[in-house]
């Protein structure tokens, strides 16, 4: 629970191509506290937290139990940014803020083409973005006050979104009686 942690846990989620990793990396740099960015897809691949590779979708089939077992001790300590295209797997008690990044479907299509995604995967992700699948999943899985939807289409959006997240972190620290550590004082 948040009361026992000195740092919040944040999910940055959204359809592939909406800027999750970029936002997470910038948030780590600008946060008033030390945060650990975990790209969940990379963790699954690197730590073998999967049941194999799905050739059709060009992705790993995640072993939810292995993934949660790996993340639980880290989530209990706090200070995580979980970066993944889905969020409903994570227990509500772990999470203090869910950021859902949204992007115009035409721009998203272009981003996924640049990643050389197969056409079927581009179409599926584009449809998911149009229908708000990730946003709906977040709102069904977490209390509405912790879910925030942000537009991620430009560098201005990125800067503004990260500034909002930094302000949210400062408020979380104040509300939870945690002294803020100046970024320059970190070792």
Q: Are the CB atoms for 161 and 23 separated by under 8 Å?
A: yes
141 is in an annotated binding site: no
What residues pair up with 13 in beta bridges, in sequence order?
84, 100
79 is in an annotated binding site: no
Cα separation, 134 vs 131, in Å, equals 9
21 is in an annotated binding site: yes
| DSSP summary character for residue 153 | S
19 is in an annotated binding site: yes
17 is in an annotated binding site: yes
| DSSP summary character for residue 98 | E
Report the half-sphere exposure of 174 (CA within 13 A, side-chain side).
6
20 is in an annotated binding site: yes
Spell out the alpha helix ranges (H) of 8-154. Answer: 20-30, 40-47, 64-77, 105-114, 119-131, 133-141
Q: Are the CB atoms for 85 and 121 separated by under 8 Å?
A: no
> Which residue ranges are tagged as binding site for ATP?
17, 19-22, 115
> Which residue ranges are tagged as binding site?
17, 19-22, 115
């Amino acid at each position: 629970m948040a009361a026992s942690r000195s740092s919040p846990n944040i999910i940055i989620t959204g359809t592939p191509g909406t800027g999750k990793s970029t936002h997470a990396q910038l948030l780590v740099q600008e946060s008033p506290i030390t945060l650990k960015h975990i790209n969940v897809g990379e963790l699954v691949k690197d730590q073998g937290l999967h049941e194999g590779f799905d050739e059709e979708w060009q992705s790993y089939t995640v072993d939810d139990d292995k993934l949660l077992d790996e993340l639980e001790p880290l989530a209990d300590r706090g200070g995580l940014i979980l970066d993944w295209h889905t969020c409903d797997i994570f227990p509500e008690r772990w999470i203090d803020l869910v950021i859902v990044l949204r992007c115009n479907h035409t721009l998203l299509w272009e981003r996924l083409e640049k990643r050389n995604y197969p056409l079927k995967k581009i179409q599926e992700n584009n449809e998911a973005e149009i229908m708000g699948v990730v946003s709906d999943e977040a709102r069904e899985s977490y209390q509405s006050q912790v879910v925030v939807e942000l537009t991620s289409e430009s560098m201005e959006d990125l800067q503004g979104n990260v500034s909002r997240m930094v302000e949210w972190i400062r408020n979380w620290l104040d509300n939870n009686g945690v002294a803020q550590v100046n970024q320059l004082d970190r070792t």
